[in-house]
Amino acid sequence: MSELTDRQAEILQFIRHAVHENGCPPSRDEIAEAFGFNSVTAAKNHLLALERKGVIQLVEGSRRNIRLLVDSDTALTHQFQLPLVGQIAAGTPITAPENVETWFNIDPDLFHPRADFLHRVAGHSMKEADICDGDIVAIHEQADADNGQIVAAVVPHPKTGEEQITLKRYLRRGSKITLRPENSSSVYKAIEIDLSGFDPESQDQAPFRIAGIFAGLIRIPR
């Protein structure tokens, strides 16, 4: 497999995510929209380049005509790229292109469980778990967690309502969720969530969702 450009790696990751989440690859229209291309032709040209590099096959006669030729994890072995996720655009998957600030050349298998994305920690709420302000945490993407695990939770900002990622200890009893900081200072309060009145089928914004579980961190010397 030839080495991929940064944009090709992003598109391959987007295809991988769509297959994982939806059970089918994205259409060319969806790729063009996700990456802000002016035409579907631009998306087609990137797909043709990926086909020439041997990581996908374009099958005629189907709107969603992309077939991954290699295991999605293996496809990026020459790149070792993980996205750094920042602000979350409303209603989008965590690793959607518009949420990605940059890419890091890091092997996802260095972390346990395997990392799917990175996020930069802001603040000291997890200091006593040795997760400090400015650390980059690796997250294994999944929608649930066991009691006591550290999770990347997506919650509405208390003032703006926009979704944001917060790293907290996850505790659940029935419909009651506690997202607990790991800092004994009274400045840091647990986030208490009651899901008993929330209808997951409604169009209302969810009070929180789990983006994934903590898999490790990178501490950049300062």
Examine the residue annotation and report whether 189 is marked as an active-site residue of this protein: no
**Catalytic-labelled residue, pool 53, 72, 125, 127:** 125
Q: Position 178: which residue type?
A: T
- Of 44, 168, 184, 186, the catalytic one is 168
User: In Å, how far from its chain's centre is CA 18?
Assistant: 12
2 given a catalytic annotation: no
| Cβ proximity of 82 and 103 under 8 Å | yes
User: What is the secondary structure of 80-124 as a DSSP string?
Assistant: -EEEEE-SPPTT--TT-GGGEEEEEE--GGGSSSPP-EEEE--SS
Residue 163 corresponds to which tokens in the numbers above?
């979704």
Instruction: List the catalytic residues.
Output: 125, 168
